[in-house]
Structure formats: structure tokens, C-alpha cells
A and B are shown apart, each in its own frame.
Chain A
Amino acid sequence: MTELQRLRAAFRTALDLPADAPVDDLSYQDNEKWDSLAHMSLVATIEDEFSVMIDTDDVINMSSFAEAVKILGKYGVDVK
């Protein structure tokens, strides 16, 4: 799997979405399942999947799929 596929899968798992749900345009504001509990599960899933430890500021700034791609870049994970 590519990094992009792995990140999509992490979002689907954490936000309890079907396996074929589009996630690339997801953002915190417009997804009702993405609340603070789901957010914690999302961060945990991403950390496990990519073996990274995400800083507090990045955790609270990760408000969209696109933002997650950008943040992972800071940890040396090139999502494409």
C-alpha cells in the first residue's frame, strides 16, 4: 500500500467509515463523526500506522485530511 492508501485507511478506521468512503476532502467541521473522541482515535491510528509521535500542537491543528498530509510531511512521511 502507498502512504496515501494507508492514510485513507487510517481515516476510515478511526472515523468508522465504509471501506470505499471518499476521505481526501474530509474536514473536522463538516463530518459529524469527527468529534474529539474520534479525533483521539484518529491520531492514535495515524501514529501506529506510520510509527510517529505527533506533537501536541500538531494534534490540535489536524483539522482536515489535507492538514494531516501536511503534518505527516513534517515527520518525514511523504504522503502521495
Chain B
Amino acid sequence: MNLLHPDARVVDAATGEMLTPAMIDVALPPGERGPLFMGMPTTVPAVARYLAALRLGRPVLLLDPETDQTSLRARYTTTDVHPDLALLLTTSGSTGDPKLVRLSRSAVLANAEQVAESLGVTGDDVAITTLPLFYSYGLSVLHSHLLRGATVVLDRTGIMRKDFWTAVDEHRVTSMAFVPSQYEMLRRLRFDPAKHPFVRTLTQAGGRLRTDLVSDFAGRMEAAGGRMFVMYGQTEAAPRMACLPPSHLAGKLGSVGRAMPGGAFTIEDGEVVYRGPNVMMGYAETAADLARGDDQGGVLRTGDLGRLDDEGFLYLTGRLKRMGKVFGVRINLDDVERQFPVAAVAGDDRIHVFAEGLSADEVRALRTKIAEWLGAHFTGVDVRTIEVLPLLPNGKTDYRALEASL
């Protein structure tokens, strides 16, 4: 797979370390088979190892470096893997749900190309990591820039630290990718693109960003001669499916854009269905599934509800299942309730969890436990104690009442 353009550069902002072809050559021993279980920190050696696995045709499962791999290794170790299989990603941060998304070489490459084309990435672009590389949005930034011979600056400090903004200026970063919670941070930082004159492109994905912030940041970028793109995707689509270009942002506010080049949306019984070359081969729940071929035929039922306007712009209106999103990662609220004695509702980039009769210490302990189980940041989980959970006449939890109490 030729994901790495010969002119592409990867540089570590803190150490200055640069990726070289020789590093990729020696990063992995050839001849080994079966999936590579790989904690993926944002470092040059990790990127070299990942690219080596892709080049050797060895499927790689990218994980949070903090994740305990024991149960995943026990579940998925095999030497019998399908020859098209390139990349395995978890569907959520949840260790409670070990289901994997199987992505083929061609889907990964197709989406890198679709994203690069949609954003107009060139060899002059410089992206900086703002998201983990084991997360599909963060990984797609790496892919789409390596493909076009651009530069990717590896930062591990995050946008609330001075070192990040120093790196943005020193490396003349042109493009940054953020999820909704980071736009809230940028608003707090009073992000002014004029202070970082090389920054031309902002992208947004990983969940719905409220429209006033979309307009706000689009306005800030436009005033500084830059652009903002709203995008929509799922890990199952490697991951981008739609892009709202800056020229349509004002006129189609609230839309997540049109299908990626080569892709198409339909609405079937209210559900958004995507067809394109970047759709996964299918899920894996057992080691035997890693030998399976393409189960999807290029069709992905997204589980999102939505509508298309007459120019093909997609508007999302909800989820089929009860889902929440925490920092861009999908959370099945019913799974949370199966695991803990709570009632869970979705909030703005966080989940609200209600449990009966907890002390302050128990509230904190439960919050930590749920966040750890989800593999999510603790600020994404809000735990509240309640005397008695409200019930509907049919005995089911009255989620409306809980939402109203927030």
C-alpha cells in the first residue's frame, strides 16, 4: 500500500526526531503473521512501526497505549488473516465491548485519498496531531497528509498548553483537526487565527458541533483568509463519509455535508446508509472473523437518522439506538446500564448517569469506574445521585424526566 508519499515528513515537536525510510525498514521483523497488537503513542517510532506493518501487509490493531491488551490478545490471536485486511480499530474506547472494525487496505487508501481531495491537501501542508493516532479521526489526519507528501508534526501536549502553540508557529502548521470539545476549548482560549498566520484549514468531526460555534469558527477562519470544513464519519468508513466545504457552510448550516468523492448517501426507513469504496469489510468478534472477506459489499448502515436535501447535503437528526458521544467516541447508553446499576442519558459530548442514594464519595468512585470502563476521560461522565429513579407507567425508566432535570 502506497500510503507514504516519498516527500512526506513526520517530525516530533518536542524532540525534533524525524521519520526516515530506514526506520520503517527495521521497525518490524518480516515474515511474522497474524495481527499486530499495537499501543499507538504519538511518537515517530510508533508511526514507523505502523507504516512498516501496512507495508508488510500485516493487519495492525491500533490501541490506546494505556489499554491492557491481555483480553484482546487472548481473543484475537491467530495466524489466519484475510489478505485484504490492513487495519483493525475498536468501535469505541470501551474495553467492555471488544468488537473490532475490519478495514481493508483499499478502504484505508480510498479514504485517505477522499479526505485529501475534499480538503485540497498538498505537499505544502503541515498538519499537527491534535487527537490520538489510535482514534480514527486522528489517524485519518496522518493518512491524508502522508498520502500527499505533506508534513505531520507530532505533538503530545494538547491545545491547552503553550508548547502546542509554540510548535504550531515554529513548524508553520497549516491544518488542524478538532472534535467538538476542543472547539469549546478554543473558544475559551479565544483562538485567533491571525496570530498563527500559517494556519489555513480547520476541520471538525467526531460528533455534532453546535451551529453557533460552527458559524463562529468559520467566521474567524474566513476573516483570516482561511477555511473551515465540517465532516462526518464513523470508524466503520475508515472513517470519513461526508464533508461540508467552506463555500456551503453558511448556506447549509447544520448539515454535515455531501458524500465523499466516490461515495453516496441514501435514506432508508429514516436511517442514513452510505455506499463507497471506504466502507469496512465488516466487524470482528472472534479471531476466526479475521479470516473473513468482505461482508458489507461497500454498504454501511450507519445507525444514524437523517435527511438529504435536494442538493445531496446530509442533515443528521438522531440515532436509531440510544447512543451518547464522549469526546467523539460513541457510547451505547444501554451498555452502560447493563454494566452499572444506573440510568444513563446523552448530554453535550458527555453522558449523564443517575444512580439512587449515593454519597459524595460514592459518586466520585462511580464516575471513575464508569470512565475507566468506557476508556473515556472522567470529565465526559457526569454522575448524579437521585432518591428514586423516575419510572414511566410501563415500568421503564423515564429518560425524558431525567433529561429535564439536567
B168-185 interface code vs A (CB 8 A; 1 in, 0 out) = 000000000000010011
A63 and B164 CA atoms in complex are apart in Å by: 13
Chain A residues near B157 (CB, 8 Å)? 36
Interface size for B (C-beta < 8 A) is 24
B-side interface mostly: helix
Q: Which of A22-59 contact B (CB under 8 A)?
A: 28, 33, 35-41, 43-44, 56, 59
Q: Which of A49-80 contact B (CB under 8 A)?
A: 56, 59-61, 63
A63 and B161 CA atoms in complex are apart in Å by: 8
A38 and B378 CA atoms in complex are apart in Å by: 9
Q: Is B162 an interface residue (CB 8 A)?
A: yes
A19 and B364 CA atoms in complex are apart in Å by: 11
| B189 & A60 in contact (Cβ 8 Å cutoff) | yes
| A16 & B378 in contact (Cβ 8 Å cutoff) | yes
| B165 & A60 in contact (Cβ 8 Å cutoff) | yes
| A18 & B160 in contact (Cβ 8 Å cutoff) | no
A71 and B90 CA atoms in complex are apart in Å by: 41
Say which residue of A28, A59, A61 sits within 8 Å of B188 (CB atoms). Answer: A59
A-side interface mostly: helix
Q: Is B367 an interface residue (CB 8 A)?
A: yes
Say which residue of A18, A19, A56, A63 sits within 8 Å of B189 (CB atoms). Answer: A56
A37 and B377 CA atoms in complex are apart in Å by: 8
| A36 & B158 in contact (Cβ 8 Å cutoff) | yes
Say yes or no: A56-B160 contact (C-beta < 8 A), given A16-B367, A18-B364: no
| B181 & A37 in contact (Cβ 8 Å cutoff) | yes
Q: Which of B141-195 contact A (CB under 8 A)?
A: 157-162, 164-165, 181, 184-185, 188-190
Say yes or no: A60-B160 contact (C-beta < 8 A), given A36-B185, A37-B181, A40-B188: yes
Say yes or no: A38-B379 contact (C-beta < 8 A), given A16-B367, A59-B160, A60-B160: yes
| A40 & B185 in contact (Cβ 8 Å cutoff) | yes
Q: Is B327 an interface residue (CB 8 A)?
A: yes
| B364 & A33 in contact (Cβ 8 Å cutoff) | no
A61 and B364 CA atoms in complex are apart in Å by: 28
A40 and B380 CA atoms in complex are apart in Å by: 12
Say yes or no: A39-B160 contact (C-beta < 8 A), given A16-B364, A60-B165: yes
Q: A36-B159, A37-B377, A59-B188 are in contact. List 9 more A-B contacts (CB 8 A).
A: A16-B368, A35-B158, A35-B377, A37-B185, A37-B327, A37-B379, A44-B188, A60-B160, A60-B162
Cβ-closest 3 pairs across A and B: A36-B158, A36-B160, A39-B160
10 CB-based A-B contacts, threshold 8 Å: A18-B361, A18-B364, A36-B158, A37-B379, A37-B380, A39-B160, A40-B188, A44-B188, A56-B190, A63-B161
User: Which residues does B use to contact A, with CB under 8 Å?
Assistant: 157-162, 164-165, 181, 184-185, 188-190, 327, 360-361, 364, 367-368, 377-380
User: Which residues does A use to contact B, with CB under 8 Å?
Assistant: 16, 18-19, 28, 33, 35-41, 43-44, 56, 59-61, 63
